[in-house]
C-alpha cells in the first residue's frame, strides 16, 4: 500500500498501533512495526529512564520505523522529549496538550510530529503549530478523549473538510472492515488501540485482557468529564465515580477519588475492582488474544477482500 501516511512514516500498511499507557511498551511496538504497521511506545506511563530503555529495546527488536506517544500534560514531558531527541526517535505523537510548544523543537531534530485531536479547533491549532499529520479520535475511543463527544463517523469528514493534512482515524477501529470505512470517510490511515491492548505482546495484565474480551455493548463509558474525559469499563471503581456524582463531589474531591496509580493498578497489575480500566467501545467486538502480527495481517486481509468486493454493494 502506498499513500500519504505510508510514505510519511515509511511503513507498509497504514495501520498505527495507538500509544497507550501500561499496554504499549517495546514488545508491542516492535511487533507491530515488524508486521508492517507503525508501533508506538506509550510514554504516558513511563518515567524518562524507562522510556529510554523501551526506545532502545524497540530499536534492537525492529529495523522498521516506530514512534513514541507523549501526553503533553505530563510533568515528565520535558524529560521525555529530551530522551526522544537524544535517542533519535523518528516519529512522535503528541496528545492532550498544546502542540505549539513542542512541534517546532522536535521538527528541528528532523522528527516527524503527529498530534491527536478530537475537534476542529484543536485541529486548526495543530496545523498552525506545523504538525505533519493528525490523529482524529472519535468518542468511541478508549482512554482520554474530547469534550465535544464527536464520533469517528462525524469527526473524520468534518476534519477533512477543514484541514488539508494526512488524517489518521481513531476510535472504533479493530477490523479491516472498519479500516475501509474510515478510509472511505476520508482517513489516510487508522489507529488501532483496543485490539492491540489484547495482543499477546501488550503489557496489559492478563486479567484486564480477559475482562476486555468479556465486554458487551454499554460496558464502557466516557466519564470524569470535569477532569479529563476518559472512556473506561464500568467496574466497581466506576460505581464509586457514579456515587461521587450523586453526592455532588467537587472537582478536587473527584481528583482525590481518582487518586494516583489507578490506571496502573487496573491495566498493569490486574486489579479489576479498584483499577481504572481504560478501553474503547469496540471491545464488544473482540474475542481473542492474538500476536500483533496476526492482528495486522487479519486487518489488511479483510480490508483488501472488502475493497475488491465493494462493487457488489
The least CB distance from residue 292 to a second copy, in Å, is: 21
Complex with a second copy: residue 124 or 255, whichever CB lies closer? 124
The least CB distance from residue 110 to a second copy, in Å, is: 29
Q: Which residue has the cell 495482543?
A: 199
Complex with a second copy: residue 30 or 283, whichever CB lies closer? 283
Complex with a second copy: residue 153 or 293, whichever CB lies closer? 153
First to last CA, the chain: 23
Q: Which three cell numbers stand for residue 43?
A: 510514554
Burial, 312: exposed, middle or buried (Cβ in 10 Å; 0-12, 13-18, 19+)? exposed
The least CB distance from residue 176 to a second copy, in Å, is: 10
How far, in Å, are 69, 169, 192, 269, 278 from residue 308 at the CA level?
Answer: 34, 22, 22, 43, 35
The H or E element containing residue 16 is strand 15-17
Complex with a second copy: residue 107 or 307, whichever CB lies closer? 307
Distance, CA of 102 to CA of 89 (rounded, Å):
14
Residue numbers of the site for a second copy (CB under 8 A)?
3, 119-120, 138-140, 147-155, 157-158, 161, 171-173, 175, 177-178, 180-186, 216-218, 221-222, 248, 281-282, 284-285, 306-308, 310-311, 313
Q: Which three cell numbers stand for residue 289?
A: 488474544
CA 68 to chain centroid: 11
Complex with a second copy: residue 137 or 271, whichever CB lies closer? 137
Complex with a second copy: residue 55 or 168, whichever CB lies closer? 168
DSSP alpha helix (H) spans, 137-231: 152-162, 176-185, 194-197, 206-213
The least CB distance from residue 220 to a second copy, in Å, is: 9
The least CB distance from residue 240 to a second copy, in Å, is: 18
The least CB distance from residue 161 to a second copy, in Å, is: 7
Amino acid at each position: 500500500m502506498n499513500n500519504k501516511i505510508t510514505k510519511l512514516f515509511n511503513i507498509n500498511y497504514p495501520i498505527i498501533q495507538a500509544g497507550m499507557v501500561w499496554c504499549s511498551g517495546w514488545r508491542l511496538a516492535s511487533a507491530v512495526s515488524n508486521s508492517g504497521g507503525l508501533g508506538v511506545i506509550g510514554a504516558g506511563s513511563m518515567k524518562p529512564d524507562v522510556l529510554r530503555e523501551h526506545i532502545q529495546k524497540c530499536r534492537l527488536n525492529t529495523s522498521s520505523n516506530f514512534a513514541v506517544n507523549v501526553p503533553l500534560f505530563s510533568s515528565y514531558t520535558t524529560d521525555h522529549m529530551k530522551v526522544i531527541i537524544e535517542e533519535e526517535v523518528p516519529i512522535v505523537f503528541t496528545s492532550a496538550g498544546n502542540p505549539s510548544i513542542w512541534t517546532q523543537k522536535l521538527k528541528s531534530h528532523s522528527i516527524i510530529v503527529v498530534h491527536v485531536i478530537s475537534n476542529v479547533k484543536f485541529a486548526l491549532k495543530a496545523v498552525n503549530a506545523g504538525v505533519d499529520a493528525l490523529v482524529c479520535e472519535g468518542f468511541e475511543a478508549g482512554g482520554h478523549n474530547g469534550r465535544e463527544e464527536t464520533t469517528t463517523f462525524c469527526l473524520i469528514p468534518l476534519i477533512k473538510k477543514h484541514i488539508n493534512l494526512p488524517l489518521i482515524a481513531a476510535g472504533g477501529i479493530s477490523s479491516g472492515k472498519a479500516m475501509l470505512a474510515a478510509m472511505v470517510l476520508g482517513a489516510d490511515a487508522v489507529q488501532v488501540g483496543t485490539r492491540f491492548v489484547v495482543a499477546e505482546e501488550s503489557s496489559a495484565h492478563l486479567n484486564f485482557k480477559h475482562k476486555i474480551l468479556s465486554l458487551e455493548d454499554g460496558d464502557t463509558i466516557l466519564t470524569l468529564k470535569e477532569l479529563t474525559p476518559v472512556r473506561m469499563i464500568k467496574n466497581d471503581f466506576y460505581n464509586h465515580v457514579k456515587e461521587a456524582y450523586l453526592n455532588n463531589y467537587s472537582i478536587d474531591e473527584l481528583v482525590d477519588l481518582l487518586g494516583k496509580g489507578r490506571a496502573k493498578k487496573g491495566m498493569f497489575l490486574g486489579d479489576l475492582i479498584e483499577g481504572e480500566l481504560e478501553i474503547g467501545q469496540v471491545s464488544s467486538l473482540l474475542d481473542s488474544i492474538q500476536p500483533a502480527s496476526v492482528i495486522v495481517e487479519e486487518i489488511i486481509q479483510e480490508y483488501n477482500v472488502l475493497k475488491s468486493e465493494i462493487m457488489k454493494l
